Amino acid sequence: MKIITYNINGVRAALKKDLADWLKFTDPDVVCLQEIKAREDQFDSSIFLKLGYHCYWYSAQRPGYSGTAILSKQKPNNITLGIDHENYDDEGRVIRLDFDTFSIISVYMPSGSSGDLRQAFKMNFLAYFYNYISELIKQVPNLIIAGDYNICHKSIDIHNPQRNKNTSGFLPEERQWLSSFINLGFIDTFRYFNNEPHQYSWWSYRANARAKNLGWRIDYLLVTQSMELRLRRATILSQAKHSDHCPVLLEIT
């Protein structure tokens, strides 16, 4: 089974850049999308139905902002929208599908790069999400949490750790949070298979950063340790260019 997480930075913009053809060629079984930036009535969602996907969209209340989705070749047993918190659910940040042998979440964690208020919002989200998942894994032992975490975990995950040490997305408290979150019992599947530096999933649009590979690894597929024997491969698909992010792929049995 091939699972992809992808912050597409606007589904309408990505479709204009041939996202549908790329999905047809790549043929993932499950696609977790973040930052869809649209309601379902604002684009032709039948494009994804024609590719064989059951589609579940969770748009933000604010137009053209945030939002998540999951596309799945297999119909899920259950769909859960949100995490029972109005501030985060209004932004469409978390959606979960449950299948027979695992559950999968698409999460778009807040960015704090626009200033102190949003950084505080981000840290509050992280604390709430930590507690939410702490309880969820007691009920859903085989869990995949895919998405844009807006955090680089370690120095290897960012092109210039020293210069960015005081930048949102690489702050010590954010990195510590991610360590603690993984220690709940998760595996960072990309690092499980790959220890090489210079492997990134997001690049600024400024200063020709992507061409120079001056990036950040902020998109993750974390799985509970109970799924370790099912892991087969994980990689970053950096050649896909429908967004300022690129997809991350996990294959499981």
148 part of the active site: yes
pLDDT at position 211 is 97
Tens digits of per-residue pLDDT, 84-129?
Answer: 999 999 999 999 999 999 999 999 999 999 999 999 999 999 999 9
User: Could you say which of 21, 41, 100, 148 is catalytic?
Assistant: 148
3: amino acid identity, one letter: I
Tens digits of per-residue pLDDT, 184-229?
Answer: 999 999 999 999 999 999 999 999 999 999 999 999 999 999 999 9
| Residue 150 belongs to domain with CATH number | 3.60.10.10
Q: Using an 8 Å Cβ cutoff, are 225 and 187 in contact?
A: yes
Q: Using an 8 Å Cβ cutoff, are 247 and 6 in contact?
A: yes
Residues 68, 66: Cα–Cα separation, whole Å: 7
Tens digits of per-residue pLDDT, 39-59?
Answer: 999 999 999 999 999 999 999
Radius of gyration of the chain (CA): 17
pLDDT confidence band for 73 (50 / 70 / 90): very high
Nearest to 149, CA basis, from 117, 189, 122, 184: 122
Q: 180 is in which domain, residue-wise?
A: 2-252
Domains identified in the chain, total number: 1
pLDDT at position 176 is 98
Model confidence, pTM: 0.98
pLDDT at position 193 is 98
- Each as own residue / partner, the long-range contacts of residues 171-176 (CB below 8 Å, 24 or more positions apart, any chain) are 173/123, 174/122, 174/123, 174/126, 175/151
Q: Using an 8 Å Cβ cutoff, are 76 and 102 in contact?
A: no
